[in-house]
Amino acid sequence: MQLSIPCSIMRGGTSKGLYFLAEDLPAEPALRDPLLLSLMGSPDERQIDGLGGAHPLTSKVAIVSKSTRVDADVDYLFLQVVVDKAQVSDAQNCGNILAGVGPFAIEQGLVAAGDNFTDVRIHMLNTGANAVARVQTPQAKVNYSGDAKIDGVPGSSAPVLIDFLDIAGSSCGSLFPSGNSQDVINNIAVTCIDNGMPVVLLNAADFALQGDESPAELEANHSLKEQIEAIRLKAGELMNLGDVTKKTVPKMTLISKALNGGLLNTRSFIPHRVHDAIGVLGSVSVATACVLKGTVAHDLLQQDFADGSIEIVVEHPTGQFNVEMEVSGSDNIASFQIHRAALLRTARLLMRGEAMANS
Ligand code: NQM
């Protein structure tokens, strides 16, 4: 039997996913997840029998509801539907799909639109942290077109400005969950950080890589992937994430010197495919690691940062990602603080209707 479920398809940043009102899906994962697997067409590498795009970046779900919290308008649960396995995971957040949550909440009447722009306060259920998304709403309607460009998406759209308020340690309990700015795992120097996304930074040169290899080249390098996965499993324990064999965190980011005027260059394993760009919260974590003395990123870059507002430009396979932060005390791990992180994304409503699940 086919079951019809109200659904919107949206591009959020450099990802694409299915957006639902919480009331339109069963609350219990045991009933909800089989429906999501069916809607996406998982498990299947091509997701031929579903709406998924056969890549982790296009096999994502947002579930949104009105918040009962005083500090938020809506609650947002992110779910990663694994492409080739019958798995749905809430173990990570997603800042790209987050970019579509504000517009979706306004479109669905969860938040009243202002006359010019609307600030949507979003409580991110995966991590318990909050973000504010500023959405353009001329004449109290969501506007998707504009001049804002983000690398990894053709053309331009209306900007969605996102401010993160309290994301340090949101998945792992602390910003540097191992307690150190640098650790050694399997003889490789690593920095384990969680500023909104658990990420392990690794110097590309330690794997005899330049750091500018294409995602396809890296994905074809099986011994590299095995080496990185072995480090990831140990890092997961060190980062208070437990056994991460079936989790999509931590992400593994290879860093190298910038090639195009940014601060540094990256290639991110998310964690088994290589990102065509870089995740939103992933890039906030990478940018943060650059600032503190003693991290593998700081050792590579040898650049110090004064207290106050800074902008960090993270290069990735399809361009650059700019992160604005307010920081202090970057001399040592005990005094280091991030007061705010902000960035620009765009989003677009692609389809609104009913998605059909096998039930
Ligand atoms: O880090 C991919 C994406 C992401 C996550 C991933 C993201 C983030 O680009 O906030 O956006 O790392 O799985 O959508």
pLDDT band at 166 (very low <50, low <70, confident <90, very high): confident
> To which residue do tokens 């994905």 refer?
219
Please tell me if the CB atom of residue 251 comes closer than 6 angstroms to any atom of ligand 1: yes
**Domain residue spans of the chain:** 2-165+346-358, 183-335
Query: Could you report the predicted ipTM of this complex, rounded to two decimals?
Result: 0.95
Pocket test for ligand 1, best of 270, 285, 345 (most atoms within 8 A of CB): 270
Residue 104 Cα distances to 51, 109, 153, 344, angstroms: 18, 9, 19, 17
Distance CA 151, CA 279 (A): 12
Q: In terms of CATH architecture, what is 183-335?
A: Roll (3.10)
CA-282 nearest atom, ligand 1: 1
Number of H helices, E strands in the chain: 6, 16
Residue 325 has pLDDT above 90, yes or no: yes
- Tokens, residue 39: 């809607």
What pLDDT score does 165 carry? 83
For residue range 109-136, list pLDDT tens digits in order: 999 999 999 999 999 999 999 999 999 9
CB 355 within 8 A of CB 4: yes
> To which residue do tokens 């990602």 refer?
321
Query: Stretch 240-250: mean pLDDT, rounded?
Result: 96
The mean pLDDT value of the chain amounts to 97
Which helix (H) or strand (E) segment is 218 a member of? Answer: helix 215-220
What pLDDT score does 309 carry? 96
Question: Following DSSP, what letter does each residue of 69-128 receive, concatenated?
Answer: STT-SEEEEEEEE-SSSS-EE-SS--HHHHHHHHHHHHHTTSS---SSEEEEEEEETTTT
For residue range 12-33, list pLDDT tens digits in order: 999 999 999 999 999 999 999 9
For residue range 185-240, list pLDDT tens digits in order: 999 999 999 999 999 999 999 999 999 999 999 999 999 999 999 999 999 999 99
Pocket test for ligand 1, best of 16, 76, 94 (most atoms within 8 A of CB): 94
pLDDT band at 359 (very low <50, low <70, confident <90, very high): confident
Please tell me the CATH code under which domain 2-165+346-358 is placed.
3.10.310.10
Question: Following DSSP, what letter does each residue of 86-100 receive, concatenated?
Answer: S-EE-SS--HHHHHH
- Asked, colleague to colleague, whether 2-165+346-358 and 183-335 share their fold, the answer is yes
Q: Considering the entire predicted model, what is its pTM? A: 0.94
